[in-house]
């Protein structure tokens, strides 16, 4: 990764030929993110639990060198093995974009220990082991790199519609990214988070009462849901050379709902 940038550069500057891990790559936002990186000339490892969906997404991406990879990230060992797998399949592991997450909407009093464990294991525990493995590999290779983790508006607001546990995990992701940014910064590795607001995906609508969503839209200055493509371009920016002096930051992409 180059250290500087110049006026007039493209959004995905510096990503051509790079190896990129995209977890949650078969999801609503994940598909758009994978496509943006492919359009920028990167080689994408499409990671998700559903092998058939991974193959579908990888096969539809523009360019060449993309690979599907099925993995269950509730297993921290599987998460930690992804960077080495990416290097083997793509030729390098230059960027990690970690989007995979579990959201179980339940009233607070109905949240079970199993609900807590599943969400925190995937949303926080796996994030730590995956990001650490990626950072360590990038450090050993000595070429710098980019780590982009996904938070949520929930890290700041506490969530809505029965998502307290999810919000807690995403708050942890933001703190984790700040610590990793300090750890890996001397090696030219940036670590940032994207915090999407309400984005029009199946995950958002599952288990969410319509009146709750109406209230969120009313509180959003742009008065609409975001699109996966809008999150994807923000993600691409953080991974590009255009964001070479940004690290430890949380990029708020919420249509104005969050203001900080």
List Cα–Cα distances, 18 to 64, 95, 153, 220, in angstroms.
12, 7, 29, 36
Strand partners, 98: 23, 149
d(CA 197, CA 201): 11
Catalytic option among 160, 166, 184, 260: 166
Of 91, 172, 171, 96, give the one whose Cα is nearest residue 133. 96
How far is it, in rounded angstroms, from Cα 126 to Cα 30?
Answer: 17
Max Cα-Cα span within the chain: 53
Interstrand relation of 189-196 and 145-150 (parallel, antiparallel or unpaired): parallel
How many Å separate Cα 117 from the centre of its chain? Answer: 20
**Whole-number Å distance between alpha carbons of 75 and 47:** 14
Specify the residue for token string 């790079």. Answer: 18
Can you tell me which residue has the tokens 């007039």?
Answer: 8
Establish whether 260 is a catalytic residue.
no
Cα angle, residue 112 at apex, residues 111 and 113 outer, rounded to 5°: 130
Cα separation, 205 vs 221, whole angstroms: 20
Query: Could you list the active site residues?
Result: 166
């Amino acid at each position: 990764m180059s250290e500087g940038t110049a006026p007039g550069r493209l959004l995905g500057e510096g990503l051509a030929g790079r190896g990129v891990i995209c977890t949650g790559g078969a999801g609503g936002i994940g598909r758009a993110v994978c496509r943006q990186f492919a359009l920028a000339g990167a080689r994408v490892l499409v990671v998700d639990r559903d092998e058939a969906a991974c193959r579908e997404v990888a096969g539809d991406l523009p360019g060449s060198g993309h690979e599907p990879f099925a993995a269950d990230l509730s297993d921290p060992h599987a998460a930690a093995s992804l960077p080495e797998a990416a290097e083997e399949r793509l030729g390098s592991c230059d960027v990690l974009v970690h989007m995979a997450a579990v959201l179980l909407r339940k009233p607070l009093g109905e949240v079970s220990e199993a609900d807590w464990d599943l969400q925190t294991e995937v949303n926080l525990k796996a994030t730590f082991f995956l990001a650490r493995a990626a950072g360590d590999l990038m450090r050993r290779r000595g070429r710098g790199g980019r780590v982009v983790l996904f938070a949520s508006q929930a890290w700041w607001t506490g969530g809505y519609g029965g998502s307290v546990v999810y919000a807690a995990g995403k708050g942890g992701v933001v703190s984790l990214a700040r610590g990793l940014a300090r750890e890996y910064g001397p090696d030219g590795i940036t670590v940032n988070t994207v915090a999407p607001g309400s984005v029009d995906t199946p995950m958002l609508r599952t288990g969410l009462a319509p009146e709750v969503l109406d209230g969120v839209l009313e509180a959003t200055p742009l008065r609409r849901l975001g699109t996966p493509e809008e999150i994807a371009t923000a993600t691409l920016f953080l991974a590009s050379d255009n964001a070479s002096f940004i690290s430890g930051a949380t990029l708020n992409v919420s249509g104005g709902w969050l203001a900080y």
